[in-house]
């Protein structure tokens, strides 16, 4: 019985130890700024990729993406910061609150109008205050709010993914279409045409433009 209790105590202490280390603050020098809400901190020769908690800055290819990155860089690059971790995201980055020179970087970005409060993930009580900072920046029309209708980055990312999928489908579809050219008549046919697999249809074109550019004419029946 005593042995079981001892094992339980050791196990419990081990869990506490792991939890403590998993959420230990990171204190180090900022050696990289990827964008407005992602920085790299160097602590004891180890680099940590930090995703700033609760805010979402414009992507680099969006309006104000460059300005948001510059704002964050001006505040923290080369300085020692303290990161209070919240969790690790799916990319392996540490998500946390960043303190620099006695200020909260998360708040400063929102105040300056270079980020939205990320409502999907920002559920802590402090987020209510950040929402007020966002509203104030919006009313003052500063930063990205100087634009009449800024696009939230999560919508921008969703649109980019949808566009990429459409392009991939289009490319795949076009690549799948092959035209057969008749080497004697110099006429090319589309798939499904009666003459598509004719005896002399031995030339393959991967696009209509390629066939016409080679001197072939479209079939009058299938009209490729």
What CATH number should be reported for the domain holding residue 81? 2.40.50.90
Q: How far apart are CA 44 and CA 123, in angstroms?
A: 32
Concerning whether 59 is annotated as a catalytic residue, the answer is yes
Question: What is the C-alpha separation between 47 and 24, in angstroms, rounded?
Answer: 15
Question: CA-CA distance, 74 to 81, in Å (whole number)?
Answer: 13
Q: Which residue stretches of the chain are H helix?
A: 2-22, 65-76, 105-111, 126-140, 153-176, 208-213
Residue 74 counted as domain residue: yes
For the cut 70, the answer to whether the pLDDT of residue 15 exceeds it is no
Distance of CA 159 to the CA centre of its chain: 11
Choose, from 5, 43, 59, 107, the residue flagged as catalytic. 59
Q: Please say if 5 is a catalytic residue.
A: no
The reported pLDDT for the residue numbered 166 is 42
pLDDT tens column, 167-192 = 444 444 444 568 898 988 989 999 88
Q: Are residues 93 and 194 in the same domain?
A: no
135 with 47, same domain: the answer is yes
Q: Has residue 222 got a pLDDT over 80? A: yes
Q: Rounded to the nearest 5 degrees, what angle is found at the Cα of 96, between the Cα atoms of 95 and 102?
A: 155
Q: Out of 86, 93, 155, 157, pick the active-site residue.
A: 93
Decide if pLDDT at 10 tops 50.
no
118, 55 contact by CB (below 8 A): yes
Say yes or no: 101 and 202 in one domain: no
**Residue (of 148, 138, 127) closest to 55 by Cα position:** 127
Which candidate in 5, 51, 87, 167 is catalytic? 51
What does the pLDDT average to over 131-147?
97
Contact predicate 114/68, CB 8 Å: yes
Q: Are residues 84 and 189 in the same domain?
A: no
pLDDT higher than 90, residue 66: yes
Are 57 and 135 members of one domain? Answer: yes
Q: Is the pTM of this model over 0.75?
A: no
Q: Does the pLDDT value for residue 32 go beyond 80?
A: yes
Same-domain status, 66 and 123: yes
Query: How many structural domains compose the chain?
Result: 2
Q: In 3D, which of 57, 98, 60 has the Cα closest to residue 77?
A: 98
Q: Are residues 145 and 180 in the same domain?
A: no
Range of the domain at 55: 22-154
Of the candidates 174, 181, 185, 175, which has an alpha carbon nearest to the alpha carbon of residue 196?
Answer: 181
- Do 34 and 130 reside in the same domain of the chain? yes
Clarify whether 93 is annotated catalytic: yes
Q: What is the mean pLDDT of residues 111-122?
A: 96
Domain membership of residue 164 (yes or no) is: no
């Amino acid at each position: 019985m005593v042995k079981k209790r001892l094992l339980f105590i050791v196990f419990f202490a081990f869990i506490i130890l792991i939890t403590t280390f998993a959420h230990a603050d990171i204190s180090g020098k900022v050696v990289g700024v990827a964008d407005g809400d992602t920085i790299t901190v160097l602590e004891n020769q180890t680099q940590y990729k930090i995703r700033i908690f609760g805010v979402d800055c414009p992507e680099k290819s969006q309006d104000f993406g460059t300005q948001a990155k510059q704002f964050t860089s001006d505040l923290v690059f080369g300085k020692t910061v303290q990161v209070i971790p919240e969790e690790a995201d799916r990319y392996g980055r540490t998500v946390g609150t960043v303190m620099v020179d006695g200020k909260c970087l998360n708040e400063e970005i929102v105040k300056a109008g270079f980020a939205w409060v990320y409502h999907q993930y920002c559920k802590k009580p402090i987020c209510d205050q950040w929402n007020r900072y966002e509203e104030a920046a919006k009313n003052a029309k500063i930063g990205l709010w100087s634009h009449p209708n800024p696009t939230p980055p999560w919508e921008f990312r969703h649109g980019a993914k949808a566009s990429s999928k459409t392009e991939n489908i289009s490319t795949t579809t076009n690549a799948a279409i092959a035209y057969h050219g008749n080497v004697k008549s110099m006429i090319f046919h589309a798939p499904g045409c009666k003459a598509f697999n004719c005896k002399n249809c031995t030339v393959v074109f991967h696009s209509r433009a390629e066939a016409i550019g080679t001197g072939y004419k479209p079939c009058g029946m299938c009209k490729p």
